[in-house]
Amino acid sequence: MRTLRAIWFTLGKEFRLIRRDRIGLFMLLVAPIAVIAAAGFSLARIYGGGTTERGEYTIAIVDEDHGLISHIIFNAIARDQSLNVIHVDNRADAEATVRERAEAVVAIVIPSGTTRAIANGGKARMILYTDPVKYLQTVRIELMISELCREINAGAMDKVRKGAAQQAQYVHDEFERARAAAEKAHAEATRLAAESVATRESIAAHIRERIAKELSDARDHAKAALDAEFNRIQVDLNKRTEVQRAKLDQLKDYLQRLKVAQGEFENWFAKLKEIAGNRASSIPAPPTIPSPPANLDLAELKIETPDAELKTARQNLEQALTVPSIEINAQDFPAPKIPDIEIPSMGKVNANLAIPGTLAFTEFDLNGKETGAAGGFNAFDLQVPGFAVTFLMIGMLMGVSLALIDERDWGTLERLRSVSAPLWTTLTGKLLARFIVGFVQMIVLFGAGWLLFGISLGHDPAALMLPAAAIAFAGAAFGLIVAGVGRTRDAVMPVGAIVIMTMAAIGGCWWPLDFEPAWMQRVALGLPTTWAMRAFNDLMIRNLSVMSALMPTAVNFGFGILYTAIGVAIARRRFA
Partner 1 sequence: MKAGERGAPVMNGASTIIRASDLRKSYGDRVALEGVSIAVNRGEIVGLLGPNGAGKTTTLSILSGVLTPDAGSVSIDGHDLATAKAQARECLGLVPQSLALYPTLTAVENLMFFGRIQGLSSRQASEGSLKLLEEVGLSDRAHDAVEEFSGGMKRRLNIACGMLHSPTAIMLDEPTVGVDPQSRERIFTVIEAAAARGAAILYSTNYMEEAERLCDRIILIDHGSIVARGTTTELIALAGTETRLEVTTRRALAPGWCKGMAGVSELPWAVAEGFAAALSVASIDHVPALIRRAGEMGVEVIEFHVHRPNLQDAFIKLTGHALRDAPT
Nearest distance, CB of residue 567 and partner 1, angstroms: 20
Pick out residues in 254-313 that bind partner 1 (CB under 8 A): none
Q: What is the C-alpha separation between 198 and 190, in angstroms, rounded? A: 13
Nearest distance, CB of residue 16 and partner 1, angstroms: 24
In this structure, the number of other CB atoms found within 10 A of the CB of residue 87 comes to 11
Rounded to 10 deg, the angle between the 423-453 and 547-575 helix axes is 140
Three-class SS state of 137: helix
Nearest distance, CB of residue 32 and partner 1, angstroms: 34
Q: Which is nearer to partner 1, 239 or 415 (CB)?
A: 415
Q: Which is nearer to partner 1, 451 or 576 (CB)?
A: 576
DSSP 439: H
Binding mask 455-484 for partner 1 (x = CB under 8 A): ------------------------------
Q: What pairs with residue 83 in β-bridges?
A: 57
Task: Compute how many residues bind partner 1; rule: CB under 8 A.
Answer: 13
Nearest distance, CB of residue 424 and partner 1, angstroms: 13
Phi and psi at 279, nearest 5°, equal -100, 5
Q: What is the C-alpha separation between 99 and 373, in angstroms, rounded? A: 18
Nearest distance, CB of residue 489 and partner 1, angstroms: 14
Q: Which is nearer to partner 1, 179 or 415 (CB)?
A: 415
Contact assessment for residue 167 and residue 353, using Cβ atoms and an 8 Å cutoff:
yes
Nearest distance, CB of residue 439 and partner 1, angstroms: 23
Of 38, 16, 19, the C-alpha closest to 28 is 19
- Positive/negative CA dihedral, 16, 20, 21, 26: positive
In this structure, the number of other CB atoms found within 10 A of the CB of residue 543 comes to 17
Pick out residues in 346-365 that bind partner 1 (CB under 8 A): none
In this structure, the number of other CB atoms found within 10 A of the CB of residue 139 comes to 14
Tell me the one-letter amino acid at 439: F
77 Cβ neighbours under 8 A, 6+ residues apart: 59, 61, 83, 85, 148
Q: Which is nearer to partner 1, 62 or 413 (CB)?
A: 413
Contact assessment for residue 323 and residue 218, using Cβ atoms and an 8 Å cutoff:
yes
Q: Which is nearer to partner 1, 424 or 453 (CB)?
A: 424
Q: How many Cα atoms are found within 13 Å in the side-chain-facing hemisphere of 156?
A: 24
Nearest distance, CB of residue 408 and partner 1, angstroms: 10
Nearest distance, CB of residue 402 and partner 1, angstroms: 13
Pick out residues in 76-95 that bind partner 1 (CB under 8 A): none
Rg of the chain, C-alpha, whole Å: 64
Pick out residues in 376-435 that bind partner 1 (CB under 8 A): 410-412, 414-422
Site residues, partner 1 (CB under 8 A): 410-412, 414-422, 576
